């Protein structure tokens, strides 16, 4: 669930560890923002991928914030992580549109009329006031035509509409078998709507959009989000601490970035902790201590991971941690050093850990590297075993 908080009146820690607030708390991504805006405003659908927690959802929010004052563009953000069926999917998109275009607005009026024709139960969330829609369908076919009508109505507006669907890989979990084909066939004829498909399961999304046998094959522009550049992140960190009247040495900043591998979420987490302590001076010692404190605090959840794995999987995870990432998982040297057994054993264990979202396969032109995607977990495993 992605949280977007607009209330900035209270004193907040400028290093966010969840959601997006405003440009002020967002580091760099200037080029990526420009590219994404260019793709979308020129009618290209985009698939946005990256390693976990690197800043995909944040980038979308940032792009939408940048487009806020553009009167020719409307933006809609939908997170479908918790959806389980096509019905949930329609519900989530309808709610996002109803929220974006209240009944009083000219387009809102048309859209609400359409929704009401579907005999929905509409209620409003007690806390957020957001509309909630419950639609009763007579048949499976009715669901497909509802999606089609939904897109057609949006298409009729004389504005470009950018719809970002986050955690898009979730549609693979729906029981409806032909959902990809249904969506693809409807999306391809839309001229005023562009989509950003985004998700945290890289390998699933790559397969959906680059496998010639699947409906979405080559239908979007791929955009791969990388880490934020070291010097840009260093500047951002320095500025935020200094604004909070904390002095931070250059060595301390370098250490923050090297311990967290300039991996957005982990860098934010460590800076957030340091900032929360409100020290006058941040030096190497303080950075080290805070880093170890975070690892200590997270230890319980690491131990829970162990409970979910077989002994062989756990040992394999430790091996990958000690290697700090590895390319040749079937080399004799690797198999022997960690007593993994056969090459096919190694492949099987790797597949299981990728499926459990503990390891990422990073594609480069030359070869693929496998890494543990949690920087803190990697450190803890490496040091504890």
Closest among 360, 353, 331, 326 to 343, alpha carbons compared? 331
Q: Establish if 202 lies at the interface with Mg ion (CB under 5 A).
A: no
Least CB distance from residue 270 to ligand ATP, whole Å?
A: 12
Consecutive H or E run containing 49: strand 46-49
Burial class of residue 300 (count of CB atoms within 10 Å of its CB; 0-12, 13-18, 19+): exposed
Task: Give the nearer residue to ligand ATP in terms of CB position, either 50 or 313.
Answer: 50
Residue 143 makes CB contacts below 8 A (sequence gap 6+) with: 86, 87, 90, 137
From 48-56, 172-180, 289-297, 328-336, span contacting ligand ATP (CB under 6 A)? 48-56
Say how far apart CA 82 and CA 111 lie, in whole Å.
Answer: 24
Burial class of residue 354 (count of CB atoms within 10 Å of its CB; 0-12, 13-18, 19+): middle
Q: Establish if 52 lies at the interface with ligand ATP (CB under 6 A).
A: yes
Q: Helices 264-276 and 284-308 sit at what angle, rounded to 10 degrees?
A: 120
Q: Establish if 202 lies at the interface with ligand ATP (CB under 6 A).
A: no
Q: Establish if 61 lies at the interface with Mg ion (CB under 5 A).
A: no
Say how far apart CA 182 and CA 298 lie, in whole Å.
Answer: 42
Q: Establish if 57 lies at the interface with Mg ion (CB under 5 A).
A: yes
From 21-29, 112-120, 248-256, 278-286, span contacting ligand ATP (CB under 6 A)? 21-29
From 16-24, 36-44, 141-149, 238-246, span contacting ligand ATP (CB under 6 A)? 16-24
Residue 253 makes CB contacts below 8 A (sequence gap 6+) with: 234, 237, 238
* String of contacts with ligand ATP for each residue 240-279, x by CB under 6 A: ------------------------xx--x-----------
From 6-14, 47-55, 186-194, 306-314, span contacting ligand ATP (CB under 6 A)? 47-55
Q: What is the DSSP-derived secondary structure letter of residue 4? A: B
Task: Give the nearer residue to ligand ATP in terms of CB position, either 28 or 176.
Answer: 28
Least CB distance from residue 228 to ligand ATP, whole Å?
A: 6
Among 16, 46, 93, 187, binds ligand ATP (CB under 6 A): 16
Half-sphere exposure of 323 (CA within 13 A, CB side): 21
Among 33, 45, 47, 50, binds ligand ATP (CB under 6 A): 50
Q: Can you list the positions of beta strands (E) in 84-145?
A: 121-124, 131-134
Q: Establish if 94 lies at the interface with Mg ion (CB under 5 A).
A: no
Q: Which does 18 bind (CB under 5 to 8 A by kind): Mg ion, ligand ATP, none?
A: ligand ATP
From 52-60, 210-218, 222-230, 236-244, span contacting Mg ion (CB under 5 A)? 52-60
| Structure tokens given for 211 | 């496998």
Summarize as ranges the residues that interact with ligand ATP (CB under 6 A).
Answer: 16-19, 26-27, 29, 50, 52-58, 200, 228, 264-265, 268
């Amino acid at each position: 669930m992605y949280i977007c908080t607009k209330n900035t009146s209270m004193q907040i820690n400028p290093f966010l560890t969840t959601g997006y607030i405003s440009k002020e708390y967002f580091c760099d991504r200037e080029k990526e923002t420009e590219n994404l805006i260019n793709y979308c405003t020129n009618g290209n659908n985009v698939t946005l991928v990256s390693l976990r927690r690197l800043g995909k959802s944040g980038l979308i929010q940032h792009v939408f914030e940048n487009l806020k004052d553009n009167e020719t563009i409307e933006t809609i953000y939908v997170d479908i992580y918790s959806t389980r069926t096509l019905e949930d999917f329609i519900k989530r998109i309808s709610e996002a549109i109803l929220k974006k275009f209240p009944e009083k607005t000219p387009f809102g009026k048309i859209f609400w009329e359409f929704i009401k024709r579907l005999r929905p139960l509409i209620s409003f969330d007690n806390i957020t006031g957001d509309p909630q829609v419950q639609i009763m369908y007579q048949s499976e076919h009715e669901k497909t035509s509802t999606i089609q009508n939904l897109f057609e109505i949006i298409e009729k507006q004389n504005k470009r509409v950018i719809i970002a669907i986050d955690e898009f890989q979730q549609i693979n979990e729906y029981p409806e078998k032909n959902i990809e084909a249904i969506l693809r066939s409807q999306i391809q004829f839309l001229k005023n709507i562009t989509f950003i498909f985004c998700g945290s399961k890289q390998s699933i999304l790559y397969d959906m959009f680059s496998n010639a046998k699947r409906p979405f094959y080559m239908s979007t522009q791929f955009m791969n989000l990388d880490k934020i550049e070291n010097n840009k992140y260093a500047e951002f960190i320095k500025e935020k601490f200094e604004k909070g009247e904390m002095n931070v040495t250059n060595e301390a900043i370098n250490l923050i970035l090297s311990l967290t591998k300039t991996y957005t979420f982990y860098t934010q987490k460590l800076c957030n902790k340091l900032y929360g302590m409100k020290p006058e001076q941040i030096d190497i010692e303080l950075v080290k201590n805070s880093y170890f404190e975070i690892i200590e605090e997270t230890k319980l959840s690491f131990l829970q991971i162990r409970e979910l794995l077989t002994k062989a999987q756990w040992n394999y995870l430790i091996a990958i941690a000690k290697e700090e990432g590895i390319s040749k998982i079937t080399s004799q040297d690797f198999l022997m050093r960690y007593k993994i057994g056969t090459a096919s054993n190694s492949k099987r264990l790797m597949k299981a850990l990728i499926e459990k979202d503990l390891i990422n396969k990073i594609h480069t032109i030359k070869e693929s590297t496998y890494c543990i995607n949690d920087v803190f977990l990697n450190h803890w495993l490496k040091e504890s075993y």
